[in-house]
Structure 1
Amino acid sequence: DLIDKAQTVLVENRNLVQRMQSSVGIPFTGEDDDAFTNFNQCLCSFMSA
């Protein structure tokens, strides 16, 4: 349950940052961002264990 909440908060924060970047004209990284990909892989492997 804690992991689910953490994942939800992180995704919401990422979306908020992307919206803020868009509103001020700063290009944002997509889903191909290395840090996001690595984190997502860790999260998926933790949840499948």
Structure 2
Amino acid sequence: MNSDKNEDRESVIDENLKKVFNETLEEGIPDRFKDLLSKLKQQESQSGSDNG
């Protein structure tokens, strides 16, 4: 009897986690993170060309 309540609770939690995860994916990457990533890539390419 108790296991039914636990399963219901778990399924509700699962559904909510999936909703939050999907919403986060849809938000995309903020511009400031894109800028940081591009700066890191530039640094990597500069240091990478020194090693070649």
Provide the TM-score with structure 2 as the length reference.
0.47
More helix by share: 2
TM-score by length of 1: 0.50
Q: Which has the higher contact order (CA 8 A, sep 6+)?
A: 1
Bigger Rg, structure 1 or 2: 2
